[in-house]
Structure 1
């Protein structure tokens, strides 16, 4: 029998949209590119502020969480611990997040900024500094903040609240059980399509770079489509095989190997390149980045019209690109982050990759600029428009360039495979609503779709159209991500309150003598009528006895009655200080849907649960007194009266106890 774990409500709409956009881009690549590019340009020019404010908000939000009381909350049970070692965790995070991008833009971005006409009027030193500064900006904290918001939200709701590892779960505090229906499907369809488009375009461009490197090493004679078919076929097959083995085996092993290779290549260039210059430029670059952090963050180039096209094509495009990739990367980061604390997650995901990216971009980008100025005579700058070959041309200026180029190709291949296999894993996860086990043919299906569509688009020239489509989807998803943060902070505040909540003050004087009565009171739900009866009998009798006893001791106490018997208070008036007030009022709270529907609990007649709540004249927060006996209530009033006398006897409290600032009784 044909078995599948695919959810029809997610898989079918997603496939229809993916195939419609892809086939249109293949048949009408130029027309599709023109139409989508018009939409993209409109968004970048007129709505770029949405991206600026959204990304800025994500950075501020994460910094707030980092230093807040919520930082100690664990992504899982309080006793859970990480499933992966720190090294493996970081390795997989890099492989999924920016692997191919680092190889593709490590040299290319710095050279392109350096040779850009935007900085053409400046001295070459300032051009080099600006090239490093903007590269840091595009690959630094802001980029990883986007991934961290999605990854953190998914991790929290999946492992802390035991919801499915799905984007729909991030809306639970806002939509509740509606996430199980069509609204949840819409969210997951959007995430699946965005993920598919992002991976397809990235893999398409990755194939071109691999092909270019193989030609450079004379392994293949040219960069024809035939060789690209072979490359995709081999690498996607490896990705499918890796995905079938799961995160703990294939993806983790390949990621660990690649990080070792990446570090080796980094040290190779650092040691054999202009070492002193690189160390000095890294130090100065960090200072330049910190000094310009806020200007870069809020910069819109509105006062410098000549730089606006550059701003749209770089900063805004990058923010849109990271946002469009965040469903995929965020889901994968969440999958491997169970057991970490929120503070640990933010530090690791936000700061450590940023520092590594800065080192990488300095070593490769600044080395290329140094060689271009001092050795190549501008030869590298002249290749700025050909980023596919730029990395390999740069390595020619180093000793053992053939070995370095071969290592670069191996790294790009492994990044290609790890990006594809983690992408396959994430897409199947979305389409199956986080099914525990899926048949192997589904993994093969996703890999085959990636291979076929990326090749068709590459051959027809439709990758740019698909890239534009991916960037367009970033606009609505940036709004969705903001809602993630609203939902997350709401959940975290409830989480903190839940674990910080102590026993009810009502239970403090309890002994085991009245345990049967206590049990009956606990399981008995209170309506407004029963609470009013409690106030009119137990509370009223306690206040009456207190009033009589106060009178015997020379203190005049007044009992204030209110209409409908829902409120009563005992008051002792003073001339120079605040009056002493202890009151009890009928208060309600909305019952949880789970409590209303729970069979193992007395049925709730009203949607609200009522209870008698104490309040005080100084507007301190009151508490539930429904389990107090008459004598326990009298004792509680006297405790507060003793506190009142103790406070007014201290000179330092004068500003709080003056009768000019009597509290308003709720």
Structure 2
């Protein structure tokens, strides 16, 4: 059967995934106890690693965003984003948080509010701490983890033309070794981590959907039979969406879901304690900002009584976000081509964080207010049962049945978007980002997700799988540090490459042809005039230069194109990117007042045409209409000298080596 799988990645991954799931299903108690012991050891003794890694990531991204590196584009300098801003944000948000927002928006604030750790602080401080720590766990720190992986993947894939694979993020360190065993190990890790994370999340999502349907009376009980039916329907939709592609499937569903979620959000806001929600949200933002660094570096080392809470919430969240970052990062990278680094970081960190804060404030603070003023502690009593807590919370609102239906609909669509984007990402990892794969591969990943999730649900092995997912976060946190080291090395070279000035030996214009130049400055150009310039000045210059290159044993080619009119001189290389210098017809708009002004250049129309230079590495070109033939030849040689100088430096090999890029595409 025809396939696009990379055998060195797919077979070890499937062997490990199926093996772990079978062990968890047949020996759930033993597996859970063993893995929980390992997890507990890591959380208690190595929690500082998570704290430092997450802190370094946050600081690194914020620094990167506010420096000149933020101007670098994820792709060629002339790349444009493939998706609208709203679709882009909707997709990354649906993949990044998804079901978790519905599962924890009420249960986490209520859990913190009712936790014995905070009982001695007083009722007001309990409510403030509940919001503060919910913000902390779902805010900038979580999205920074996703952002560093997504940024690394986007940069090395679209800027360096490497495969959209985690192995590519280590190219500055490993060089060609990423094509061998080390690269396969990284991709196997990413594939297994993605599969385990999606499987456990979907398993818990199915339980919550089943509970909601039972409360509303659509099903008779919480049973495995109903869970099979739910998984069968939803995974089928996910497979159909994944096969349809990002444009038709994930994008449309994500846009719909964000819209429906906003409707539900506004309903809770205006039907609930509106003034309290807005006031507590405002105060909560201030509380979060004023405690930002204390929270970031906090290890609770001086607060022994709160350590179990710290391990079970903050450290577990950091491990969970890290374990999910290969999947979410790959998906974010897939949809982020053409964005600048500053735009990427700002959008991925700030916008989803702001939405999370609003969402958690509206639902969480409403729940706390109701628990205190209306429910007489009934919601706090359900803190240990998050599957039904959201629906019991909605019982205190008008149209509770309709609101519960909206919640179920949002969970279902989050379920589908998580599954279909997961299928998309897993197939991309397994095929090393093959451009087109048979549809049966996506169907196979979806079926495997469904079968193993149901098997673990029935056997009670989801907790064991969740533990192994959290354990994998420790080694991947080290890999994330290597990603940052690779980015620093690559970005430094990148910026210098595009800002490299010409050699000091280049000669500026002389005053010999100043009259002709003045005439050119005050005259407008049309398309025919520029075409004549290309034919009368550029082409003879390039032809003469080609012959001189040939005399120096360098084979240069001359290429002419129409629509649009352009001509270029090309020197081909095997191990280095080709040298290209071209001139093309370009136009720019001229303001009406310039066209009508008598004492300004004689522009007869609102479009002014001019000959613009362009280069093989997509650096920004410039107007060459005032160049003579010899000056144009000199300009080409300036760029050729710069090209040779950069190519001769060993550290630039990863940036200008066409051979390395071609082997890995």
Distance 1:496 1:32 in 2: 50
Q: Which runs of 4+ in 1 moved over 3 A?
A: 507-512, 514-524, 588-599
Deviations 1:588-639 (A, max 9, x none): 954876999999xxxxxxxxxxxxxxxxxxxxxxxxxxxxxxxxxxxxxxxx
The alignment covers a number of residue pairs equal to 534
What TM-score do the two structures reach when normalised by structure 1? Answer: 0.78
* TM alignment of 1:349-360, pairs within 5 A: 349-360=348-359
Aligned residue in 2 for 1:473 = 472
Aligned residue in 2 for 1:69 = 68
Aligned residue in 1 for 2:120 = 121
Contact between 2:71 and 2:342, CA under 8 Å: does it hold in 1? yes
Deviations 1:199-254 (A, max 9, x none): 00000000000000000100001101000000000000000000000001111110
Distance 1:398 1:594 in 2: 60
* TM alignment of 1:203-602, pairs within 5 A: 203-508=202-507, 589-590=649-650
Q: Secondary structure at the match of 2:263?
A: helix
Contact between 2:160 and 2:655, CA under 8 Å: does it hold in 1? no
Deviation (angstroms), 1:519: 8.5
Deviations 1:85-124 (A, max 9, x none): 1110111111100010000000000000001010011211
Distance 2:328 2:397 in 1: 34
Contact between 2:143 and 2:348, CA under 8 Å: does it hold in 1? yes
Q: Secondary structure at the match of 1:499?
A: helix
Q: Secondary structure at the match of 2:9?
A: helix
Distance 2:26 2:651 in 1: 57
What TM-score do the two structures reach when normalised by structure 2? Answer: 0.78
Q: 1:233 to 1:518 in 2, by over 3 A?
A: closer
Contact between 2:493 and 2:652, CA under 8 Å: does it hold in 1? no
Q: 1:89 to 1:595 in 2, by over 3 A?
A: closer
Q: 1:520 to 1:593 in 2, by over 3 A?
A: farther
Distance 1:312 1:336 in 2: 34
Aligned residue in 2 for 1:649 = none
Deviation (angstroms), 1:509: 7.2
Deviation (angstroms), 1:508: 3.2
Aligned residue in 1 for 2:77 = 78
Distance 1:479 1:381 in 2: 38
* TM alignment of 1:32-181, pairs within 5 A: 32-181=31-180
Q: 1:596 to 1:56 in 2, by over 3 A?
A: closer
Q: 1:351 to 1:597 in 2, by over 3 A?
A: closer
Distance 1:598 1:311 in 2: 49
Q: 1:455 to 1:595 in 2, by over 3 A?
A: closer
Distance 1:509 1:381 in 2: 77
Contact between 2:175 and 2:654, CA under 8 Å: does it hold in 1? no
Q: 1:594 to 1:335 in 2, by over 3 A?
A: closer
Distance 1:415 1:91 in 2: 11
Q: 1:518 to 1:449 in 2, by over 3 A?
A: closer
Deviation (angstroms), 1:20: 1.1
Aligned residue in 2 for 1:607 = none
Deviation (angstroms), 1:523: 6.4
Distance 1:393 1:432 in 2: 45
Distance 1:598 1:151 in 2: 24
Distance 2:213 2:488 in 1: 49
Contact between 2:277 and 2:361, CA under 8 Å: does it hold in 1? yes
Distance 1:395 1:103 in 2: 12
Structure label with greater radius of gyration: 1
Distance 1:217 1:279 in 2: 30
Contact between 2:128 and 2:284, CA under 8 Å: does it hold in 1? yes
Distance 1:381 1:597 in 2: 61
Q: 1:597 to 1:408 in 2, by over 3 A?
A: closer
Q: 1:228 to 1:491 in 2, by over 3 A?
A: same
Aligned residue in 1 for 2:190 = 191
Aligned residue in 1 for 2:663 = none
Distance 1:156 1:75 in 2: 5
Q: 1:477 to 1:520 in 2, by over 3 A?
A: farther
Residue ranges of structure 1 left out of the alignment (5+ in a row): 525-587, 600-666
Distance 2:490 2:652 in 1: 15
Distance 1:598 1:244 in 2: 33
Q: Secondary structure at the match of 2:184?
A: helix
Deviations 1:412-433 (A, max 9, x none): 0000000000000000000000
Deviation (angstroms), 1:394: 0.2
Q: Secondary structure at the match of 2:217?
A: coil
Distance 1:355 1:338 in 2: 23
Q: 1:293 to 1:521 in 2, by over 3 A?
A: farther
